[in-house]
A = this chain, B = another copy of it.
Amino acid sequence: MQLEQQNRAKPNSEGWLRVIGLGPGDPALLAPAARAALSEAEDIIGYRTYLQLAGPFRDDQRVHDSDNRVELERARHAFQLAAAGGRVVIVSSGDPGVFAMATAVMEALEQANDPAWGTIDLQIIPGISAAQAAAARIGAPLGHDFCTLSLSDNLKPWSVIARRLQLAAEADLVIALYNPGSHARPHQFNEALALLREHRTPETPVILGRSIGRTDEQVIVTPLAEVDPAQVDMRTVIIIGSSQTRIIEAAAGRRWVYTPRWYPEAG
């Protein structure tokens, strides 16, 4: 059965829940709708690093910070506050719908199966993702077909991740990688690099974007052969070019990277 959805209708309740994304961290890239939700909120919930980017807050606003690993608890807490009539915002980085809090909110809603939660005025406000922000800084590497993959094997087996990487490489998609692991747990990114090097030439342009839009922003362009895992941590988004991704050496030492719209006919 097909259904046209009107999830925007405001139900009969005072409380509401907004799941917002801060974008890359630069206020100039924060959606006005997200800014308005932060201003109207009574309760603001999130990982403390993101709350620091989202603030400052007023004395009449309650700020509930937490560790980064308790997404589901944070989501449940938000529903409880909203069901009790609160105006509640959950803060994510980037786009809440891309490897972020909107999924945990959906999981909490489904698991609770509580009509009082189901009738809450819930809105997800999209944001600009880290991959989009890094891409914009350097040109248009995501200008044509691409995929966005998480290397985290906390909640899925590494075999699924490896197979997805393999097929994405065969499909000649540009690949944006999230959650590449840390210096303490480098195995995911090392294995991903080894796999990608089997499918792409050593010269393939790779972009390492870190803290884009923040004061310590860094964008590195490197050939695939020279990527050093020591340059990558959990705040890095990695964009691996396709066979078509090109570098422009412009005037004044500037370089741009983009993926053209055209694709050559198979020989």
| Residues in chain A within 8 A of chain B (CB atoms) | 1-5, 7-8, 11, 23, 26-33, 36, 95-100, 102-107, 109-110, 115, 117-119, 123-129, 132-133, 135-150, 155-157, 159-160, 163-164, 167-168, 170-173, 218-223, 226, 246, 248, 250-252, 254-256, 258-263, 265-266
Contacts and interface: CB of A to CB of B under 8 A. Distances in A.
Contacts of A266: 157, 159-160
Nearest to A206: B2
Given A221-B3, A251-B115, A146 B143 contact: no
16 contacts: A5-B137, A29-B32, A32-B32, A97-B135, A99-B144, A105-B140, A106-B256, A107-B258, A107-B261, A109-B256, A127-B132, A145-B147, A145-B148, A146-B147, A160-B263, A164-B171
Nearest to A248: B110
Number of copies: 2
A226 B248 CA distance: 45
Indicate the member of A31, A100, A262 with the most B CB atoms within 10 Å.
A31
B146 A148 contact: yes
A259 B142 CA distance: 22
**4 cross-chain pairs, A with B, having the tightest CB-CB distances, nearest first:** A118-B251, A156-B263, A103-B143, A147-B147
A4 B159 contact: no
Contacts of A98: 132, 142-143
A137 B7 contact: yes
Contacts of A110: 246, 248, 258
Contacts of A222: 2-3
A18 to B, nearest CB: 11
Contacts of A171: 163-164, 167-168, 171
B104 A261 contact: yes
A109 B145 contact: no
Contacts of A226: 1-2
